[in-house]
Homo-oligomer: A and B are copies of this chain.
Amino acid sequence: MTPATPPPLTLYRQMLRIRRCEEALVKAHGRGLIHGACHTYVGQEAVAVGVCAWLRRDDVVFSTHRGHGHALAKGVSCRELVAELFGRATGCSRGRGGSMHLFAPEVGLMGTSGIVGPCVLQAAGAGYSFKLLKSDRVGVAFFGDGAVNNGAFHEGLNMASIWKLPSLFVCENNQYATEVPFRYAAGNPSVASRGAAYAMPGIAVDGNDVFAVGEAAREATRRARSGEGPTLIECQTYRTRPHAEGMGDFTYRTREEVEEWKTRDPIRRWRERLVAEGTAQEAELTRVDAEVQDEVDDAVRFAEASAWPDPATACDHVYSV
Contacts and interface: CB of A to CB of B under 8 A. Distances in A.
Of A154, A157, A198, the most chain B CB neighbours within 10 A belong to: A154
A149 B151 CA distance: 9
A151 B155 contact: yes
Contacts of A186: 158, 162
- By secondary structure, the A interface counts as helix
A152 interface: yes
Copies per assembly: 2
A188 B199 CA distance: 5
A3 interface: no
Nearest to A230: B187
Contact of A187 (B149, B151, B199): B199
Contact of A151 (B152, B194, B199): B152
Give the one of A150, A155, A158, A198 with max B CB within 10 A.
A158
A153 interface: yes
A150 B196 CA distance: 16
Q: Which 5 A-B pairs have the closest CB atoms?
A: A151-B151, A154-B154, A161-B187, A187-B198, A187-B199
Interface string A148-182: 01111111011001100000000000000000000
